[in-house]
Amino acid sequence: MARIATVGWIGLAAALALGAAGCNRSQTQSQEPDPASANLAPADQSGQPAQDQTAAAPAQEAQYQGSPEQLSEAPQPPPPLPDYSQPPCPGDNYLWTPGYWGYSQAGYYWAPGAWVTAPFVGALWTPSYWGFSGGHYLWHAGYWGPHVGFYGGINYGFGYTGLGFSGGYWGNGVFNYNRLALNVGSGVHHVYDHAVVNYTPVNRISFNGPRGIGVQATASEGVAFRERRMEALPAQTQLRHEAVGNRAQFASENGGRPAMVAAPRGIEGGREAAAPPAAREAPGGNARPEAREPNAGPGARPEMPAARPESRAMPESRPEARPSIQRPEQARPAPAARPTERPAGPAPGGRPGPGEEQKKRP
């Protein structure tokens, strides 16, 4: 009997030891740094408070005032976010841009979420959001930049947890996808797994302010807002135009359940731009801000190159790559002729792979 009791105590002690080891292992895993934390700008060390982006909204979005498609001011808050599935990522270097409620003279309409090719290496998307200020709801347009800024603390899901973006990060010129946050398709080659931490509750609230999400921009998000940034790409604007022209996308028609919540296929950005000075990739793989030009103000935007035409002509050679023109009397035979044009590189992104089970918004 004593022997049985001894064996029982030994087994209990072993079970407790294994349980403790399991707890320690779990704590160790949860304490591993998230590589996507590089998407947040380094905190401002100047001691200046983060810029009030809600107060800056009217000037920032003045270009949309009076537009029949997207108004920057609304008398009532937007409807709750719809619950929907994310289509699989179609290929490398596509970034997810969450859907949002836009506002026109006919009311709120849903602009679908979409996978969009990044406009430059290191580009990250800060989503649009609505914020309450001065008795009205003001619309803040999304933008591309080297870090993720303030988007009202809205939990859009799919890596946009209310603070930053935990769906992946840039490294060595390619985007690495977190499979625990995003619906990764077969055309994606750089993946990893890391648990997602939600910084605001998982809910469907779609605006910042009273009776909505009551958070303010952090110092890090204030830095990102002051960096050089890039407006939505033409393909993103076109997707919004299509939404506002479709009555089935309006909340008054669908009761908050849009006909198309997400674009079924990835869309090409339509612009291949050099990274803004603040978004160039630093040695080590992650984008870091650089010193601004002396005359660049805090709200300066980079010049955007024009979109490429639909027809694809022969690529223009760089000046240094053009063969020199020699006069007949000066021409000398060369051992090997240099090519007059660069070989075509692979097309950005890839076609969607075989469909896989779509991931629900957390």
CB-CB neighbours of 60 under 10 Å = 18
69 pLDDT above the threshold of 50 = yes
Do residues 157 and 362 lie in contact, with contact meaning Cβ atoms separated by under 8 Å? Answer: yes
Percent of the chain with pLDDT over 90: 53
What amino acid is encoded at 206 in this protein? S
List the chain domain ranges: 80-289
Question: Across the chain, where does the E strand assignment appear?
Answer: 73-74, 85-86, 94-97, 100-104, 107-111, 114-117, 124-126, 129-133, 136-140, 143-145, 168-171, 174-178, 191-192, 207-208, 359-360
* Residue 262: predicted pLDDT: 97
Percent of the chain's residues with pLDDT above 70: 59
Q: What angle do CA 124, 63, 251 make, to 5 degrees?
A: 75
pLDDT over 50 at 199, yes or no: yes
Tell me if the pTM is above 0.75: no
Provide the residue type at 22 as one letter.
G
Higher pLDDT, 353 or 242: 242
As a whole number, mean pLDDT of residues 50-79 equals 58
Q: How far apart are CA 182 and CA 156, in angstroms?
A: 12
Given this model, what pLDDT does residue 339 score?
A: 43
pLDDT band at 196; cut points 50, 70, 90: very high
Q: Provide the pairing of β-strand 107-111 with 100-104.
A: antiparallel
Amino acid present at 273: A
Contact present, 153 and 199 (Cβ < 8 Å): yes
Helix, strand, coil percent values for the chain (each to nearest 5): 20, 20, 60
Under 8 Å CB-to-CB from 285, ≥6 apart: which residues?
170, 171, 172
Q: Over the stretch 132-150, which tens digit does the pLDDT of each residue have?
A: 998 999 999 999 999 999 9
Q: What is the pLDDT of residue 297?
A: 36
pLDDT tier, 249 (very low <50, low <70, confident <90, very high otherwise): very high
Residue 195: the pLDDT is: 95
Distance CA 283, CA 173 (A): 11
**DSSP category for residue 350:** -
What average pLDDT does the structure give for the chain?
A: 72
pLDDT tens readout for residues 25-63: 222 234 589 999 999 999 864 444 444 343 333 333 333
Strands laid side by side in the 129-133 sheet: 73-74, 136-140, 129-133, 207-208
Kindly tell me the number of DSSP H helices and DSSP E strands found in the chain: 5, 15
